[in-house]
Amino acid sequence: MRVKTTAVVAGLMLAAAACGGQSGDTKPSASGSAPAAKPLAGTTIEIAAKWTGEEQKSFQKVLDAFQEKSGAKVTYASTGEDTGAYLGPRIQGGNPPDVAVLPQPGLVQQYADQNALKPLSSEVQAQIDQNYTPYWKSLGSANGQVYGVLVKAAHKSLIWYRAPAFDDAGTQPATTWDELIKSAQTVADSGTTPFALCGASGWTLTDLFENVYLSTAGPDNYDKLSKHEIPWTDPSVTTALEKIGQIFGKKEYILGGSSGALQTDFPTCATQVYGQKKAAMVIEADFVATTAVQSGAKVGEDAKIMPFPKAGDTAPVVLGGDIAVALKESKGAMALLEYLASAEGGSVWAKNPGYLSPNRNVSPDNYPDPLTKQLAQTIISAGEAVRYDMSDLAPSAFGGTDGKGEWKDLQDFLRNPKDVKGTQDKLEADAAKAWKK
């Protein structure tokens, strides 16, 4: 059953009041009835997350709605892309934020092992059980305990393209990898650079690898590599890297060449496609929509998507997500997590571009366009055919640290795509080190 807004709000207020957060006496209104109490009035909550720019503005609308309902004051801190590097010193110094949003399930396990996470209240867990499938619930769990709320999902098996650039070149969206390479050449021949790559943001390169690897190696090998049960020197990795090299190895395919791509972060690469119109395609998730809309493009018209083309036998579907956890045991932290887990909180967020909710009780009617509604259904019905972002499942030292591990090794591969064996050797050495810890 869909969670009713009134029920969520009432639950939030009751939970906060039970924790002693109710404010003092309230004055009757002119009609003689007391105004609604603000159970968290006087409470300050700090939340840290990676979002900046338009994504931060979108999330701030959710925080504003929570503040209005609860009376709490919520302050936002941006962790930057390397969430672990930001949170680590604060946790060790005994001064963590009340709530943190983790971009990798691997960090949930890491912080749980350090006893840095606080167990969720029964009210938060009730929202999770009511609104999420077991699959999404498990991603916020560690050692048999639920610690996190998956607040934002991502569909990462997409290539965004600028429709006018394709029309001018006389080409169509690709369904296979060979068609993608052929289309890229056609676009290049028309005078437009095919791809804007966000090489300075190493995680975008891991997303590309994961899609190609899932398609060429298949789901079983994907699972094994994600757990380091097969080495990165395996021939299946060779195949995937050689496919990617068909793009990385052609300077005319990449805006600014490899050096330009390595100086371009996300979302600048999306701006280069839709705002500056310097390239035709950007390989990234649904949240490219935020930048596309900001650049003046209309999703579904000039900003279109193609499912990631099959590079092998499997049509890849790779999902990601951001998990909110409590680092302090406070009534404010639990009340905010309860709101973020609710259908109401997800519905506020869903009205903005570049957001997909894993909450099955967030109505599709909240999404701003038909394309996003379609992607949202894919996220909610995630089952056996899909896989979670591999680098996010890995230990953070390998899969989620700026300038180290998989991020750096794939950046080096972009710099020198002929060195497939050397890249595999470095990936395996870094993976072996991370899994031993």
Residue 8 pLDDT grade (very low, low, confident, very high; cuts 50, 70, 90): very low
Residues 367 and 373: beta-carbon distance below 8 Å: yes
Its sign, for the CA torsion 128, 129, 133, 139, is positive
Nearest one of 373, 375, 406, 370 to 390, comparing CA atoms: 406
Residue 135 pLDDT grade (very low, low, confident, very high; cuts 50, 70, 90): confident
Whether 57 has a pLDDT exceeding 90, the answer reads: yes
Can you give the pTM of this predicted structure?
0.84
> What is the number of residues in the chain?
437
Residues 80-99 pLDDT 10s = 989 999 999 999 999 999 99
Please tell me the distance from the alpha carbon of residue 35 to that of residue 26, in angstroms, as a whole number: 7
Q: Report the pLDDT value the prediction gives residue 28, as an integer from 0 to 100.
A: 39
Domain boundaries 5-23+38-154+319-380, corresponding CATH code = 3.40.190.10
Residues 270-279 pLDDT 10s = 999 999 999 9
Mean of pLDDT values over 282-286: 97
Take residue 327 and report the two structure tokens written for it.
């680092």
Domain with CATH 3.40.190.10 in the chain: 5-23+38-154+319-380, 158-316+394-436
Mean of pLDDT values over 397-417: 97
Residues 97 and 77: beta-carbon distance below 8 Å: yes
> Residue 224 has what DSSP assignment?
H
Q: Report the pLDDT value the prediction gives residue 377, as an integer from 0 to 100.
A: 85
Is it true that domain 158-316+394-436 has CATH number 3.40.190.10? yes
Q: Report the pLDDT value the prediction gives residue 21, as an integer from 0 to 100.
A: 36
The CA-to-CA distance between both ends of the chain, in Å, stands at 44
- The proportion of the chain whose per-residue pLDDT surpasses 70, expressed as a percent, equals 91
Please tell me the distance from the alpha carbon of residue 333 to that of residue 97, in angstroms, as a whole number: 9
Residues 227-273 pLDDT 10s = 999 999 999 999 999 999 999 999 999 999 999 999 999 999 999 99
Q: Report the pLDDT value the prediction gives residue 111, as an integer from 0 to 100.
A: 96
What is the 3-class SS of 316-364, one letter each residue?
A: CCEEEEEEEEECCCCHHHHHHHHHHHCHHHHHHHHCCCCCECCCCCCCH
Please tell me the distance from the alpha carbon of residue 319 to that of residue 198, in angstroms, as a whole number: 19
Whether 283 has a pLDDT exceeding 50, the answer reads: yes
- The proportion of the chain whose per-residue pLDDT surpasses 90, expressed as a percent, equals 86
Residues 177-196 pLDDT 10s = 999 999 999 999 999 999 99
CA distances (Å), 411 to each of 39, 230, 432, in order? 49, 22, 19
Mean of pLDDT values over 408-414: 98
Whether 347 has a pLDDT exceeding 80, the answer reads: yes
Instruction: Name the phi and psi angles at 395, rounded to 5.
Output: -55, 140
Helix (H) or strand (E) holding 371: helix 370-380
